[in-house]
Chains A and B, each alone.
Chain A
Amino acid sequence: MGFLEVKDLKVHFPIKGGIFGRTVDHVKAVDGVSFTLEKGKTYGLVGESGSGKSTTGRAIIGLNKITSGNVTFEGNDITANNRSRASFRKDIQMIFQDPYSSLNPKKRVIDLVAEPLRNFEKLSRKEERIRVQELLELVGLSPESILKYPHEFSGGQRQRIGIARAVALKPKLIIADEPVSALDVSVQAQVLNFMQEIQNELDLTYLFISHDLGVIKHMCDHIGIMYKGRFVEEGTANEIFESPQHIYTKRLVAAIPEIDPHKREELKKFRLEVNTEYEQAYNDYFDEEGLAYGLKPISDTHLVALPEKG
């Protein structure tokens, strides 16, 4: 039994059309996704814009309505009804991409960080203050800054406030949706290091959503590659980066710029090969609608979306 199990998750958005605004079709943002998170590990969800990776994360925490499929958290189905949801809301928290817009600019840090505490725990003012100060210290901000407003912080500091909020209730799982995409590299490094530190300290599990393969490789133990709402490949970080099997993954990994100007020519040639292969083999790897097939295991951990043979 996995820590978090997602089974055949589908999130379809209706498309309204016609004179009466009836539902004429659906956008299949997430179309049958299954994966399992192990406790204390980081699972990376990768894909290009529109692949459905963020929708998947948002559906797990309940921000997007699930069309079908289920999500089991520590053995309990959290898609079933809203009442059981409430108790898990504490255990699963989310970190958002943009530290500039995800914090209410009119609230002080103490109110921002205490907000989840107020929703779930009854603390006296003094206890609350102490907890917030502890949390700020944990994320490396000075406890005196509780009376400041978000605009008084830099981007990296703001993202730490977002993290302080997320860890306030001692969650077990954090869904991080592009947590460093809006940050400069040096600030990004700070936030990534810090996320790893508190993972060890608080025994956290991450679902790490990003389009940045460098960040994903650095952070994740297991990786799932999404394309048009489906998984094309899943495996350990090593498997995905060192021996990608699906043509889509190959092309994606090949496209990452290498920080070595010597390899420029080599990489260019390699990319050309992969692109040629991609174009030639496209129909073998995708169905008539251009969607990926179901995942087939090629080893214990490595799954690839390949068509049924024969």
Chain B
Amino acid sequence: MAEKLLEIKNLKTSFRIRDEYHAAVDDVTLTVNKNEVLAIVGESGCGKSALAFSIMGLHTRAKIEGNILFKGEDIANVAPSKLNKLRGKNMGMIFQDPLTALNPLMKIGDQIGEAILLHNNTLSKSQRREKVVNLLQKVGIPRPEHVFEQYPHELSGGMRQRVVIATAIANEPELLIADEPTTALDVTIQSQILDLIKDLKDDMDSGIVLITHDLGVVAEMADRVAVMYAGQIVEVGDVLTLFEEPLHPYTRSLFNSIPNAHGTQDKLHVIQGIVPALQNLPRSGCRFAPRIPWIDEAAHEEQPILHEVKPGHFVRCTCYKHFKFPEETKEEQHHGVS
């Protein structure tokens, strides 16, 4: 049995908009094991980044309900001073945009060094420097001694993202949260960075939460996948199951809407309507129902829950049993006539 690193139970993260709380993350239950990559997929506004921020305690004005157990200890709503002992040491985070994630006025070496200093102040300055140079080397930065003295604007995007990663792994964290780590990068750099994250994971035996909207990245990296829509998890499963037989209408729609460099398709699937804004999220019933209006209302559950369809494969709502794309429905009718 895999060792549980992070357990999220019924997490609800709400923000106040005009005197009313709206949940950006709603009833999320997840586990991340050691040496495992859990990918969280969804489009912007689905709550995946809000989830990552909740784990790291980075929200400043949010109401957090439920439990976030890190190695058995609940870290939801603990005092910042307590959280600061874990952040950067036991859990690290890689941010999306390497252009803004680094302090423009601080030397690269000092920025990485800060992560070490904060959790180990017994090291001398030169020992710390040595450690930083080793880290820079580890993330594949050429001439680390030189880069140590440089400022962020002197490095390319790919190099900066390596610096961000070096900062996140400075203390060999057990849990690494990567929030769209390659979205801002070119594909060749992306594949290098993804390889780097994978190697580091194997090296440190860490658990990784990979937040992404890119199903290609998921296919390359993930052991398990959670698909989020409108603040909720709509489907979870191991990567092979999910890619071979996705069940939830949203997951299936998502797969059909990506132009694929390796496959061929004439027309991309378009999901009807738009992702509702946080204030307008449907609070009851299946949240994806308004986007598949051709599916009979009776197909949806009143209060959709996650159903375990196979060991480890969960799908929210019963509508998946009745879901068909409009094209498929037409074809069937066509067949029926002939």
Q: Real complex partners, A and B? A: yes
**For the complex, is B84 an interface residue (Cβ under 8 Å from A)?**
no
A185–B43 touching, CB < 8 Å: yes
User: In chain A between 232 and 260, which residues have their CB closer than 8 angstroms to a CB of chain B?
Assistant: 241, 251-260
Count contacts on B: residues with CB < 8 A to the other chain: 40
- Given A184-B275, A189-B269, A264-B219, check contact A241 B186 (CB 8 Å): no
Q: Which residues of B contact A215 (CB under 8 A)?
A: 259
| Residue numbers in A under 8 Å from B195 (CB-CB) | 268
Is A262 engaged at the interface, CB distance under 8 Å to the other chain? yes
What residue of chain B has the Cβ atom nearest to residue A258's Cβ? B262
CB atoms of A258 and B270 under 8 A apart:
no
Residue A146 lies at the interface, judged by CB distance under 8 Å to chain B: no
Across the interface, which residues of A come within 8 angstroms of B239, CB to CB? 261
Which residues of A are found within 8 Å of B261, using beta-carbon distances?
213-214, 216-217, 241, 253, 256
Residues of A within 8 A of B253 (CB): 186
Given A218-B259, A261-B239, A262-B240, A189-B268 contact (CB < 8 Å): yes
Contacting residue for B271 out of A186, A212, A255, A268, CB 8 A: A186
Q: Does A164 contact B (CB under 8 A)?
A: no
Q: Is the CB of B187 within 8 A of A213?
A: yes
Residues of A108-141 at the interface with B, using a CB-CB cut-off of 8 Å, are none
Give CA–CA (A59, B282) in the complex, Å: 47
CB closest chain-A residue, reference B238: A261
Tell me if B216 and A259 are in contact (CB < 8 A): yes
Cβ-based interface call for A199 (8 A): no
- Select B187's contact among A190, A192, A255, A259, beta carbons within 8 Å: A255
Is there an interface contact between A259 and B215, defined as CB atoms closer than 8 Å? Answer: yes
Give the distance in Å from the alpha carbon of A260 to the alpha carbon of B259 in the complex: 14
How long is the Cα–Cα vector from A260 to B157 in the complex, in angstroms?
28
> Given A49-B157, A189-B269, A257–B257 Cβ distance below 8 Å?
no
Q: If A214-B260, A257-B191, A271-B191 touch, does A49 touch B219 (CB 8 Å cutoff)?
A: no
B258 in the interface, Cβ–Cβ < 8 Å? yes
Given A254-B191, A259-B243: 5 more A-B contacts, CB < 8 Å? A48-B188, A193-B267, A214-B216, A257-B190, A264-B219
Cross-chain pairs A/B with CB under 8 angstroms, 21 sampled: A154-B274, A156-B274, A157-B274, A185-B213, A185-B258, A186-B271, A189-B258, A213-B187, A214-B261, A218-B265, A219-B259, A251-B188, A253-B261, A257-B190, A257-B194, A257-B214, A257-B217, A258-B216, A258-B220, A260-B219, A261-B219
B: residues with CB less than 8 A from A are 43-44, 157, 186-191, 194-195, 213-217, 219-220, 222, 239-240, 243, 253-255, 257-263, 265, 267-271, 274-275
